Amino acid sequence: MTLRRNRLWRNRLTNAVQTLLIMGGLALSLSVPGYLLAGPGGVLISLTAVVFTTLMSSWMPVRVILTNAGAGVLRHHQAPELYEMLAHLYARADLPIAPQLFYVPSPDLNAFAVGTWRDGGIAVTEGLLNSLSMRELAGVLAHETSHLRHGDTRVMSMAAAMTRLTLWLTLVVQVALLASLPLVAAGELAFPWGPLLLVAVAPTLSTLLSLALSRNREYKADLEAVALTGDPEGLASALTALERYHSRWLSTIFGRQQQPTGLDWLRTHPPTEERIQRLFDIDSDLHALAQHPGLQRHHGQRPRIHQRPGPQGGHHWFLRRRR
């Protein structure tokens, strides 16, 4: 099976439709307890609170993460090869901002997008830099670049806000239903079976939809990463290394027990085997980027950090936006 340019756009359209449907389901789940509490006004207030929370959380939580992780800003002169590679990825993704890398002094193998495409960047851990080759790292950085390009951090922040607010509002509705039990026992009020069923289903449905949205965005980021690099093998190799690390980490906790299978719908990320299979289904000449010298010239090397930055501290992350 090959993935030509028209299939790329078809997958983009499919992912966009799936995202809209999932977000619609999340909004509906949130509307149920809001309506039961205050009618149409409660629905409006709930959705407004989600928008406000999303705008706040798209900036603050990532800086909380960076502060707690002791992260620092990785400057161009400290990692010129990484910045050269990232500049090519940003150019291919049509991101009109200068690349920005953050360094997290952690042995974990992890990378994540920070903020939005207007003022954000990509954070990488020490463990990731020590474990991956430049070719593998190019796939990981392309994956995170896709998250920035498509605003996935804001989308997931909105989904998380909807799920949290749904849980809180359903708790309030449940307390109100319990308070009405004396009236039900006295025969003055019929037992509200309908509202009880709705508030019982809404939190679970919202959580499952949020997990499905996360998996959807990960699949899309994988596809876009290959569109940027033209090298599915590089990202597949990186995913294999990450899976090997996390499996080893889990085995130290759970011993040699077999990990549960068949519960993929409870994952925030799709199964690694399925992600890798999808990558190998992609035609390697998707955008002919495998021949791009800016992405190939360091493939045989290991990532090098000429000088590791120290932690910036809470004052920097909380009070300063990157210019």
Q: What's the pLDDT band for 60 if we cut at 50, 70, 90?
A: low
In whole angstroms, give the CA distance from residue 183 to residue 204.
Answer: 28
49 backbone φψ class: left, alpha, beta (φ>0; ψ -120 to 50): alpha
Q: What is the pLDDT of residue 89?
A: 92
Q: What is the pLDDT of residue 114?
A: 82
Report the pLDDT averaged over residues 56-71.
69
Instruction: Kindly state the tokens that stand for 244.
Output: 């090997």
Q: What is the pLDDT of residue 323?
A: 45
pLDDT, tens digit (0-9, with 9 covering 90-100), for 285-311: 454 444 455 566 656 677 778 778 777
Segment 91-94 long-range contacts (CB within 8 Å, at least 24 positions apart)? 92/228, 92/289, 93/145, 93/146, 93/148, 93/149, 93/224, 93/228, 94/149
Residue 4 has pLDDT above 90, yes or no: no
Residue 50 has pLDDT above 90, yes or no: no
Per-residue CA distances from 310 to 69, 77, 230, 264 (Å): 11, 15, 35, 39
Report the pLDDT averaged over residues 63-77.
79
Residue 148 has pLDDT above 80, yes or no: yes
User: Which residue is it, tokens 């995913």?
Assistant: 239
DSSP letter for each residue of 113-147: EES-TTT-EEEEEHHHHHHS-HHHHHHHHHHHHHH
Task: Determine what percent of the chain is predicted with pLDDT higher than 90.
Answer: 11
Closest CA to 82 of 120, 41, 135: 135
Residue 44 has pLDDT above 80, yes or no: yes
Report the pLDDT averaged over residues 199-224.
89
Task: Enumerate the domain spans of the chain.
Answer: 5-319
Q: What is the pLDDT of residue 248?
A: 62
Q: Which residue has the higher pLDDT, 138 or 320?
A: 138
In whole angstroms, give the CA distance from residue 34 to residue 40.
Answer: 8
Per-residue CA distances from 303 to 78, 144, 170, 209, 298 (Å): 11, 17, 49, 37, 9
Range with lowest mean pLDDT among 18-22, 63-67, 132-136: 63-67
User: Which residue is it, tokens 């290394």?
Assistant: 241
In whole angstroms, give the CA distance from residue 33 to residue 195.
Answer: 9
Closest CA to 43 of 157, 159, 166, 160: 166
Residue 186 has pLDDT above 70, yes or no: yes
Residue 213 has pLDDT above 60, yes or no: yes
Residue 124 has pLDDT above 50, yes or no: yes
Q: What is the pLDDT of residue 285?
A: 44
Report the pLDDT averaged over residues 116-121.
78
Q: Which residue has the higher pLDDT, 58 or 244?
A: 244
Secondary structure of residue 313 in the 3-state scheme = coil
Residue type, 162: M
Residue 19 has pLDDT above 60, yes or no: yes
In whole angstroms, give the CA distance from residue 170 to residue 29.
Answer: 10
